[in-house]
Amino acid sequence: MNQHPTAAQRYTDGLIEALRTRDPAVFADFLVNSGRGTPEFSKDPRRLEEAMHRFTVTFPELREFHEESRFWLAEHASSPMR
């Protein structure tokens, strides 16, 4: 295990940790605090939840949530998953 993770690895680890909570508010806080999201974005619950589910399905570390997120996206996403 790398004892000195890169900034990109720390961001990815934090993102996975935030997504694992399944809480859009935690996800929004992470994005804003990491400089990757805006407070305006975090105030749009629909876009925030969609982004959370889209990110979730991209990480193998979150495979236990993939089915739930795919279902949510199929029902609610603004554009279909590819």
Answer with the residue of higher pLDDT: 42 or 73: 73
User: What does the pLDDT read at residue 77?
Assistant: 87
pLDDT one-digit tens code per residue, 18-45: 999 999 999 999 999 999 888 888 788 9
Q: Taking Cα atoms as reference points, which of 22, 23, 41, 21 lies closest to residue 31? A: 41
The Cα–Cα gap between 17 and 68 comes to 17
Give the residue-averaged pLDDT of 59-74: 97
**Confidence class for position 79, pLDDT limits 50, 70, 90:** confident
Q: Say whether pLDDT at 82 is over 60.
A: no
pTM: 0.85
Q: Domain residue spans in the chain?
A: 21-76
Tokens of 41: 């974005």
